[in-house]
Amino acid sequence: MDKLMIEGGVPLTGHIPISGAKNAALPLMASSLLASGKHTLANVPRLRDIRTMQRLLGHMGAESEHDDQFRIDTSHIHRPEAPYELVKTMRASVLVLGPLLARYQRARVSLPGGCAIGARPINLHLKGLERMGAEIQLEHGYVIAEAKRLQGATITFDQVTVTGTENLMMAACLAAGVTVLENAAREPEVLALAEYLGQMGARIRGAGTPQITIEGVSDLKPGSYTVIPDRIETGTYMIAAAITGGHLTLSPCRPEHLEAVTGKLKAAGAAIKVEDGILDVQAASDIRSIDMKTWPFPGFPTDMQAQFMSLMTLGNGVSLITEQIFENRFMHVLELKRLGADINLDGRNAVVRGVSSLSGAPVMATDLRASASLVLAGLAADGVTEISRIYHLDRGYETIEQKLEAVGARIWREKDQE
Ligand code: EPZ
């Protein structure tokens, strides 16, 4: 197992290239099950979760390769099943359920099980598929789903769910009749998926709004698509500039995907501008403490909460951070306190009192975004920070230490004797 070593205190300067979005690539890969044949996806990041999805599709019979592009052939799917061994390592595996049921009329998908950041049930996915006429049973930890042909239906989500919206949108593409998804997720990744489904021949209106209408068709044709830049990776590096007193440019990026993050960083004092698609982030001499609440897109993304908290640990006052999406997404707090941060938790609220400096120490990563927050705090801290269990980080950040080293960070990977 690896650990990451960071000697902090260097203002980062230069350019960081942004990779394709993990949370867009995963549903796009799953959507290849909807249309038999050769699909080509460009700008797919090289991440552990991407390899897991590739293995999952391979387990079903798909042939794929990932060099400068990700190419997959779904002509010979013979086992519409997602085994526990793979699903337990990545919850997003549930994204194969809708496409398998719609295309092969049956699916056997392991229930995802618990997660560090919250219970994360999939009841809304299953409820929606049942509304479309699927027979669903839970047996031995597996969802067994069957449907001769899914039927269009109107489905109102009790709460906004990103992969729930994606799963049902994919299922509805091959259903008989019209499906309307109400209170749907509006994340850019949902829109990207709808764009590719449309290119394959699906009839979708309203993606990116709370109401999505899908008119089912009898079949879809494989195609090619370029994955959007990762807005969470971009946001993470924007904070790397702000927390180290640095100046970074980032591209490619889609500023419209980052308005909530940009707004909060400007309020915290950073100077941010976009020129020719390049995001320019200049740190302020003084970090202003501000409050923040996470909310579904276009609100402030929960996947940026931990990273934003790292910045607020060095703010000039008190910041109240409220996590409204997941019930247990403060695992990074105790680790940040090990670096000298002053944070008090009260249920879904964290009161962060800014300190003048952080000091390096051994800390432990607990989930993907928590590990990113520890990297950011380590970049700002005096001395060396040692982050163990960084396999969490490798799930969602492509070559992070190379990208940070290129802009001046003193960061390296070591084998962990743990
Ligand atoms: C997606 O997860 C992302 N993952 C998550 O990113 C992200 O944190 C989350 O959306 C919220 O933005 C991918 O896209 C692969 P949800 P998802 O369903 O779809 C509850 C990262 O760091 N809920 O929108 O699983 C749920 O418990 C990851 O890259 C139900 O109760 O999240 C949560 O409280 C972490 N029942 C809320 O809804 C359901 O059936 C939102 O979850 C579904 C969800």
Q: What is the pLDDT of residues 142-164, one digit of tens each?
A: 999 999 999 999 999 999 999 99
- Per-residue pLDDT at 118: 83
- This prediction's pTM: 0.98
The mean predicted confidence, pLDDT, of the chain is 97
At residue 325, φ and ψ (nearest 5 deg) are -100, -50
Per-residue pLDDT tens for 9-24? Answer: 999 999 999 999 999 9
Q: How far apart are CA 45 and CA 367, in angstroms?
A: 19
Q: How far apart are CA 312 and CA 262, in angstroms?
A: 15
- Per-residue pLDDT at 114: 73
- Residue 120 C-alpha to ligand 1 middle, in angstroms? 7
Active site residue 115: yes
- Per-residue pLDDT at 229: 98
Per-residue pLDDT tens for 250-279? Answer: 999 999 999 999 999 999 999 999 999 999
Per-residue pLDDT tens for 11-66? Answer: 999 999 999 999 999 999 999 999 999 999 999 999 999 999 999 999 999 999 99
Each as own residue / partner, the long-range contacts of residues 147-152 (CB below 8 Å, 24 or more positions apart, any chain) are: 147/101, 147/105, 147/106, 148/105, 149/105, 149/174, 149/175, 149/176, 150/101, 150/102, 150/174, 150/175, 150/176, 150/216, 151/175, 151/176, 151/177, 152/176, 152/177, 152/178, 152/179, 152/214, 152/215, 152/216
Per-residue pLDDT tens for 295-339? Answer: 999 999 999 999 999 999 999 999 999 999 999 899 999 999 999
pLDDT beyond 90 at 242: yes
Nearest CA, atom 28, ligand 1: 303
Per-residue pLDDT tens for 74-112? Answer: 999 999 999 999 999 999 999 999 999 999 999 999 999
- Residue 230 C-alpha to ligand 1 middle, in angstroms? 17
Q: How far apart are CA 235 and CA 396, in angstroms?
A: 13
Nearest CA, atom 8, ligand 1: 303
From the list 181, 179, 171, 29, the residue with the least C-alpha distance to 102 is 171
**In percent, how much of the chain has pLDDT > 70?**
100
pLDDT beyond 90 at 179: yes
Six token digits for residue 146: 């069957």
- Per-residue pLDDT at 254: 96
pLDDT beyond 70 at 129: yes
pLDDT beyond 70 at 418: no
Q: Which residues line ligand 1 (CB under 6 A)?
A: 23, 26, 91-92, 118-125, 159, 161-164, 189, 302-303, 325-326, 368-369, 396
User: What's the burial of 284, exposed, middle or buried (CB within 10 Å: 0-12/13-18/19+)?
Assistant: middle
* Residue 351: strand, helix, or coil: strand
Mean pLDDT value across residues 394-408: 98
- Per-residue pLDDT at 233: 98
pLDDT beyond 80 at 417: no
- Residue 151 C-alpha to ligand 1 middle, in angstroms? 25
